[in-house]
Structure 1
């Protein structure tokens, strides 16, 4: 069975140690850590902070994954920039270096998964890639990912790629195209599937997406979303069929982490985390 976790981007006002204890006390088995300016900033890591986090994770028995979606960690004025799609090779290299740092942090924390995404097209190109067989930005993206995957193989860490609404690759179909473009260089690339994103992009039912990509499914994000709107909301407030999504994960034999991601609810993080777990347990009883 997959392990239920919670993403620390939904607990931005707790110290990391306090957030880890809260997640464990609520009954989660895992935590997805988003290294950010407030906790484990990959650009300003303190060995003591890393060692303390590793000890806390071990003491609590939490499995861990590393998320790389911090909004302004690389540029305080441009959300999620630079990306692997930038025209400037130096800018793309900054993102690659950030991923290398996150991979190294994963090793130190005992995480075996690092999750990432493409980013938005930066130069006014069409915003997304779905079934297009070729696109000028594919080479930039594939080259950067190839370097990250090579480093990840050396470190024994897996990389999960997340389609994200509004980004260059926003649907599972775009992930499929990316794999075809990369060929053998992408053999190790797994899928991070956000079930709420499937609602936004109309890739339904979620169980069918899980079934199609079961062999690549590495990591899962759990949240509800309204149809057609990329807005993470608590379960029951959007259009996600949670029972269908969890049934699909169970039937696929997925054994990784399924982490709740409610960054918009950070102002009520403890309550949101508790409510989410209650909803998940209720939905699991229907499977």
Structure 2
């Protein structure tokens, strides 16, 4: 497996990329997000970023903005979210990303699931058109339950199977977030691996205490991240795994890398 680092967006993205190179990471997942890594910032500094990433021969991935909602029931908000995501995809293309991680949106408690799902499909259809033009793959990420109380969304294997049945594109793949899938009542990580292995293009891993998405260093929380990673290895997975360890103390990130390298 190729162990990757993700930038923390309050820090300078070029300095984050340099840290990844200097500490022997195999890849770099660029979170294209406010405040320091917006599409405008990334495109303005694309040469610096590409030069740094090339110096370490790092695999390049991108994560489009988290704080948008491509499934929103308000047309204006949904269209604005798609527009922001498309601008982030332009930035991903500028750094020559191979895989772009995208969230499927959120479901609000009073919104019927079928309404949210229809909106997600429509939005992803637009994003897939651009992904095909740019030549990268979209990795739709499973979400943690409890983002909005009583309205879990894309934390079940069947939702991803249904998505594939409606959007038959070779550019549509999945990002398995082991930490998200370890929060009940999500389907567990092994269910995603057994049922969707052929569609898993990328993996996220961090630790948590079992009730929310804490993004802790590995070994600090309570989840079993080892068994899913070992299962992926046994199945022959040799792709990318990003450590989503969000702490300003980089020693924790390096220690987490040692645990899975």
| Counterpart-to-counterpart distance in 2, 1:16 and 1:196 | 24
| Counterpart-to-counterpart distance in 1, 2:19 and 2:220 | 24
Give the C-alpha shift of residue 13 in structure 1: 4.7
Tell me if structure 1 keeps the 8 A contact 2:178–2:206: yes
Instruction: String of CA shifts for 1:72-124, please: whole Å, max 9, x gaps.
Output: xxxxxxxx23x112233232122212222222222221211110112222463
Structure 2 gap ranges (5+): none
Instruction: Name the counterpart of 2:119.
Output: 140
Give the C-alpha shift of residue 237 in structure 1: 2.4
| Counterpart-to-counterpart distance in 1, 2:255 and 2:204 | 16
Instruction: Name the counterpart of 2:159.
Output: 174
Instruction: Name the counterpart of 1:3.
Output: 2
Number of corresponding residues: 255
Give the C-alpha shift of residue 136 in structure 1: 1.8
CA distance 1:139–1:16, change in 2 (3 Å): same
| TM-score (normalizing by structure 1) | 0.80
Tell me if structure 1 keeps the 8 A contact 2:27–2:60: yes
Note if 1:157 corresponds to 2:101. Answer: no
Give the C-alpha shift of residue 170 in structure 1: 2.4
CA distance 1:120–1:204, change in 2 (3 Å): closer
Instruction: Name the counterpart of 1:75.
Output: none
CA distance 1:273–1:46, change in 2 (3 Å): closer
CA distance 1:60–1:187, change in 2 (3 Å): closer
By relative contact order (CA 8 Å, sep 6+), the higher-ranking structure is: 1
Instruction: Name the counterpart of 2:217.
Output: 234
| TM-score (normalizing by structure 2) | 0.88
Instruction: Name the counterpart of 1:104.
Output: 90
Alignment of 1:119-268 (within 5 A): 119-122=105-108, 124-125=110-111, 135-165=114-144, 166=147, 168-180=153-165, 182-184=166-168, 186=169, 188-201=171-184, 206-263=189-246, 265=247, 267-268=248-249
CA distance 1:92–1:244, change in 2 (3 Å): same
| Counterpart-to-counterpart distance in 2, 1:37 and 1:209 | 30
Note if 1:90 corresponds to 2:76. Answer: yes
| Counterpart-to-counterpart distance in 2, 1:238 and 1:40 | 28
Give the C-alpha shift of residue 254 in structure 1: 2.1
Instruction: Name the counterpart of 1:272.
Output: 252
- From 17, 36, 40, the equivalent of 2:37 is 40
- CA RMSD, 1 decimal: 2.2
